[in-house]
Structure 1
Amino acid sequence: MTTKLFTTPKPNPQATIRLFCFPYAGGAPSIFIPWLDKLPAHIEIVLVQLPGRGARLMEPPHDKMHLIIEELMQHSDFITQKPCVFFGHSLGSRVAYELAYTLQKANKTLPVKMIASASRAPHLASQKQPLYHLPKQEFIKKLRELNGTPQEILANAELMDLFLPLLRADFEIADCYRAEPCPLPLPIDVFFGHDDVDISQAQRDAWQSLSSFPVQQHAFNGDHFFINTLSDQVIAKVSDILASL
Structure 2
Amino acid sequence: MVKAKIFTIPKPRIAPKLRVFCFPFAGGSFTTYIPWVHCLNDDVELVLITLPGRASRVSELSHDQMASIISELLEQKSIFADVPYIFFGHSLGSRIAFELAVNLQYLGITSPQYFIASGSRAPHLASRRESIHHLPKSEFIQKLGELNGTPKEVLSNSELIDFFIPALRADFKVAHDYRAKKIPIESPILVLGGKDDIDVTHLELLAWRELSQRETKITLIPGGHFFINEHKSVVIEQVDFVVNLVLTCNEMKHVDEIF
TM-score (norm. length: structure 1): 0.98
**Matches of 1:214 and 1:188, distance apart in 2:** 6
1:58, CA displacement in angstroms?
0.8
Structure 2 counterpart of 1:174, which letter? A
What secondary structure is seen at the aligned counterpart in 1 of 2:191?
Answer: strand
The 8 Å contact of residues 10 and 36 in structure 1, kept in 2 or not, is answered as yes
**1:175-233, Cα deviation, whole Å (9 max, x unpaired):** 00000101111111101100110000111011011101121111111111111111111
Q: Which amino acid aligns with 1:235?
A: I
Aligned AA for 1:112?
Q
Instruction: Report the Cα offset of residue 9 of structure 1.
Output: 1.2
Q: 1:171 — aligned with what?
A: 172
2:88 alignment partner in structure 1:
87
Question: Greater Rg, structure 1 or structure 2?
Answer: 2
Opposite residue 17 of structure 2, the aligned amino acid is T
Distance 2:7 2:86 in 1: 15
The one-letter code sitting in structure 2 at the alignment partner of 1:205 is L
C-alpha contact 2:194 2:225 (8 A) present in aligned 1: yes
- Shift in Å at residue 69 of structure 1? 0.3
**Runs (5+) with no aligned partner, structure 1:** none
Cα distance in 2, alignment partners of residues 153 and 237 from structure 1: 30
State the one-letter code of the partner of 1:210: L
Question: Which residues of structure 2 form unaligned runs of 5+?
Answer: 247-259
The whole-number CA distance in structure 2 between the counterparts of 1:35 and 1:126 is: 30
Per the alignment, residue 232 of structure 1 pairs with 233
Is 1:62 matched up with 2:67?
Answer: no
- Could you report, residue by residue, the CA deviation over 1:98-120 in whole angstroms, capped at 9, with x for unpaired residues? 00000011111111111000000
Offset from partner CA, 1:106-135 (integer Å, 9 cap, x none): 111111111000000000000111111111
Q: What root-mean-square deviation, in Å, do the aligned CA atoms of Structure 1 and Structure 2 show? A: 0.9
Residue 194 of structure 1 aligns with which residue? 195
Alignment of 1:150-169 (within 5 A): 150-169=151-170
TM-score, normalization by structure 2: 0.93
SS in 2 for 1:18: strand
Runs of 4+ with >6 A deviation? none
What secondary structure does 1:244 align onto? helix
Instruction: Say whether the 8 Å CA contact 2:80–2:109 is kept in structure 1.
Output: no
